[in-house]
Structure 1
Amino acid sequence: MKKKVVSLLAAMALAVTALAGCGSNDAATTGTDAATVAATTEAAGTTEAAGTTEAATDSEAVTGVKAGFIFLHDENSTYDLNFLNAAKAACEKLGIEYMTKTNIPEGQEAYEAACELADAGCNFIFADSFGHEDYIIEAAKEYPDVQFSHATGTKAHTEGLDNFHNAFASIYDGRYLAGIVAGMKLNEMIANGDITEDQAKMGYVGAYTYAEVMSGYTSFFLGARSVCPSVTMDVTFTGSWYDETAEKEAANKLIEGGCVLISQHADSMGAPTACETAGVPNVSYNGSTEAACPNTFLVSSRVNWEPYFEYAIKCVADGTPIDTDWCGTLETGSVELSDLGAAVAEGTAEAVEAAKADLIAGKTHVYDITTFTVDGKTLDSYEADIDTDPDYTPDHEVVSDGYFHESDVAFRSAPYFNVRIDGINLLDEQY
């Protein structure tokens, strides 16, 4: 109760600040379908913003929902910017009031942020980072009348809470398609005599050795190898989701080690700018980096969170249950590629469209067990840790029908592919 009282006072202070901001600084932005008036305050390294929106059409508008969003970083992180843009777009389209909290660490601060949003009247609250999950669950237990959703989390299906949900998307499909773009570029480099077939080595900057990262770099590699059979890949890790210096150093290390194309699962511009400086082709993540890296940018994949936000907000408005685990797809518009960069190889667009059609039709599966080996053997059976425990004990068979079933909502939405396949070399594993 004390926490709620303190949070209520904080929310009242924010409201006063917002009113003062509207009176003294009319910061209004107009979108295609809505007008947004936001007031922002900064304290202790975090940023809070409150927005009100007006829907363009009655058919899109919903009532009875105020949304709150919790972000690990701010707009300087490509990962968080992707969520911020989707939240703004969805709330404006549906005409609802919303609040955002940025730079919220993966600790008790996440619980406090969730409580403050709930006390401020938010009845749908979303957090965007893996490490937020335990703290959002704690808040969900305290506020049973508020719906909480969490991106990339693993525990909704085992917690058994009606008001806590996990969401993700089949981004491995997007990374596979981005890998095809990379493989086509390698083929062009081989054909031009820039490299030989055995020099077709890619590099990958990862944050941690989590299943989400392993699933991502493996799908990227398999996409590249589907068109460039000789490709290999080195992977290094930074131990942080966002560290521009470390990511730039990691990319440079990979380039110095003979990698002729770089991709990433880390959130800064470190790797792309290193590639632009070195003249090495780059596949980025969560948004196009072509403006900053016009000579080396090839493509970027991302999760489009707007479909999920619209879905969940409408569920709250209608009083219908939100799926415990929700996984968006290419078909739902939740997995996207950016426009191709000027540096891509000829024929790339056609190759990507053909592969995308096969993925949607179910003719191609990213983790088809005939396309890779583990220690020289086919992976015809694998138990994954679905019901997450501290020891990561395998508990569900996930290989059937000839492929590894990643992010299957029959299990859970968050990735659990942590298989080390042949052709990928991990340079370090301390993270």
Structure 2
Amino acid sequence: MKKFLALILVAVMVLALAACGTPAKPTQPEKPAGSAAPAGEATGAPSGEMSLNEQIRASVEAPIDTAKAKAANDGGKFKVGVILLHNEQIGYDAAHIDGLKGAFEKLGIKEDQVTWKYNIPEDETCHDAAVDLAEAGCNIIFANSFGHESYLMQAAEEYPDVLFCHASGQSAATSKLTNFCNYFTKVFESRYVSGVVAGMKLKEMMDDGKVKDPYVGYVGAYPYAEVVSGYTAFFLGVKSIVPEAHMDVTFTNSWADMTAESEAANALMAKGCSIISQHADTTGAPTAVQAALDSGKDVYCVGYNVDMLAAAPKAALTSAQNNWVMAYASILDNAMQGKPLPRNTAFGYENEGVQISKLGPSCAKGTDEKVAEVVKAISEGKLRVFDTKSFTVDGKELTSYDKSYGFDGVELIWDGYFHESELLSAPLFDIAVDGIKKLN
């Protein structure tokens, strides 16, 4: 999910294309059972044209046809192409690689049916990689970084017989492309649960007199909705255990910069943070926290993507994780079987799309039981991560929100909670809630 300049370009492109009736922005198919969409529809579109809100909702009823992919599979010629921002050395990409390999094994897809493109930046190189894969006979092509989207869409327009699937993007719902979809996980759910783990530890430290100020820190990559959604979910998880908790966030402006992440964690600990979490892709923060713990400080960490116990054996409490196997297996199975492919799909606890890693030895007593209770409540729809009663903005509860960046006029709060990853697979929660301070 990446790059601020890419985000601006996508937003500008979307507005321009919307004016001439071509690609714009995204959606997710399924709405929770018994949940009604808000009655009011924002317009802002010329008479006779669909508003952005209407386009997003209409896309739910217009899935992608996979007949050509099925024909290739039936003929023994099904091929998969994969475009990755980094390689297996970076946690985010390693998680995608593991998920893809798990899906391949599950579906009987052999190694010689898959072509990998590693270390593909968010520029024209991505388009070139996609073209190479299409020319090599791939029937379905995946790309895993936010900034890949516009380049993947360009290739999708040039190769209408190939399916193009983009993780974390926001354009499939409003694009006129009939071979392009977005997918993601509801990782905000596992971030909330990881926040509960952190909250349990924070409370234990306060009860033991080791901490007086319930102050936590967060190392974020960029100030995008995906990151804001994640750190807010983490904070709300902490706050569910320690209501008076507050959190500072610092951004590294990179998805993977070990040095910057380590320095950010050290700066937050120097300010007095007792627990550090992250939305950045290296072990920089956990390594710094482990070093601080070894030096005698009472500090702990919560990671992302991968189990951080190897980097921080005593400091790591857990990591919020995506189970990409479920996402990739679902999309690939639809393609191979000729089933309609939703333009947006998100996978959460209800379908095993997210999880937290093994609890570390420093976790507070009772954490296991609390985690099981919270996961069950989320899975059953009894706990909504962004329940509007769990946070305030300028001291007030929100009853409406239609100002998510790039989606002005699309209502995202109804039935008492923010409907993250329901209208779109990608996160849209970009609200600045009370108790969280951005340092840069």
The normalised TM-score by structure 2 is 0.80
Task: Please tell me whether the aligned partners of residues 185 and 327 of structure 2 are also in contact (alpha carbons under 8 angstroms).
Answer: no
- Counterpart residue number, 1:316: 335
Q: Secondary structure at the match of 1:104?
A: coil
Is 2:216 the counterpart of 1:202?
Answer: yes
CA distance in 2, matches of 1:268, 1:393: 31
Residues 236-278 of structure 1 show CA distances to partners (whole Å, capped at 9, x for unaligned) of 0000001111111111110111111000000011101000001
Amino acid at match of 2:261: E
Which structure has the highest strand share of the two? 1
Q: Secondary structure at the match of 2:115?
A: strand
Amino acid at match of 2:291: T
Q: Secondary structure at the match of 1:383?
A: coil
- How far the C-alpha of 1:329 sits from its partner, in A, is 1.3
Distance 1:247 1:62, change over 3 A: farther
Is 2:389 the counterpart of 1:370?
Answer: yes
Is 2:259 the counterpart of 1:212?
Answer: no
Task: Please tell me whether the aligned partners of residues 222 and 253 of structure 2 are also in contact (alpha carbons under 8 angstroms).
Answer: yes
CA distance in 2, matches of 1:376, 1:93: 49
Alignment of 1:21-100 (within 5 A): 63-96=76-109, 97-100=113-116
CA distance in 2, matches of 1:363, 1:393: 27
Residues 307-362 of structure 1 show CA distances to partners (whole Å, capped at 9, x for unaligned) of 12111112221222211000111121111111111110000010111111111111
Amino acid at match of 1:296: A
Query: Which of 227, 234, 237 is residue 241 of structure 2 equivalent to?
Result: 227
Task: Please tell me whether the aligned partners of residues 82 and 286 of structure 1 are also in contact (alpha carbons under 8 angstroms).
Answer: yes
Q: Secondary structure at the match of 2:203?
A: helix
Select the structure with the greater relative contact order (CA < 8 A; seq sep ≥ 6): 2
- How far the C-alpha of 1:64 sits from its partner, in A, is 4.2
Task: Please tell me whether the aligned partners of residues 298 and 341 of structure 1 are also in contact (alpha carbons under 8 angstroms).
Answer: yes
- Counterpart residue number, 1:338: 357
Query: Which of 387, 391, 400 is residue 381 of structure 1 equivalent to?
Result: 400
- How far the C-alpha of 1:145 sits from its partner, in A, is 0.7
Task: Please tell me whether the aligned partners of residues 284 and 301 of structure 1 are also in contact (alpha carbons under 8 angstroms).
Answer: yes
Q: Secondary structure at the match of 2:182?
A: strand
Task: Please tell me whether the aligned partners of residues 65 and 316 of structure 1 are also in contact (alpha carbons under 8 angstroms).
Answer: no
Alignment of 1:7-406 (within 5 A): 63-96=76-109, 97-196=113-212, 199-279=213-293, 280-385=299-404, 392=406, 394-406=408-420
**Structure 2: 5+ residue stretches without partners:** 1-73, 294-298
Query: Which of 406, 419, 426 is residue 438 of structure 2 equivalent to?
Result: 426
CA distance in 2, matches of 1:85, 1:232: 35
Indicate the RMSD between aligned Cα atoms, in angstroms: 1.3
The normalised TM-score by structure 1 is 0.82
- Counterpart residue number, 2:37: none
Q: Secondary structure at the match of 1:240?
A: coil
Q: Secondary structure at the match of 1:156?
A: coil
- Counterpart residue number, 1:6: none
- How far the C-alpha of 1:193 sits from its partner, in A, is 1.0
Q: Secondary structure at the match of 2:161?
A: coil
Task: Please tell me whether the aligned partners of residues 78 and 286 of structure 1 are also in contact (alpha carbons under 8 angstroms).
Answer: yes
Amino acid at match of 1:237: F
Q: Secondary structure at the match of 1:157?
A: coil
Q: Percent identity?
A: 47
CA distance in 2, matches of 1:133, 1:246: 26
Runs of 4+ in structure 1 over 6 Å off: none
Residues 191-225 of structure 1 show CA distances to partners (whole Å, capped at 9, x for unaligned) of 111111xx110000001110000000000000010
Q: Secondary structure at the match of 1:148?
A: strand
- How far the C-alpha of 1:299 sits from its partner, in A, is 0.5
- How far the C-alpha of 1:62 sits from its partner, in A, is 10
- How far the C-alpha of 1:92 sits from its partner, in A, is 2.5
Task: Please tell me whether the aligned partners of residues 200 and 260 of structure 1 are also in contact (alpha carbons under 8 angstroms).
Answer: yes
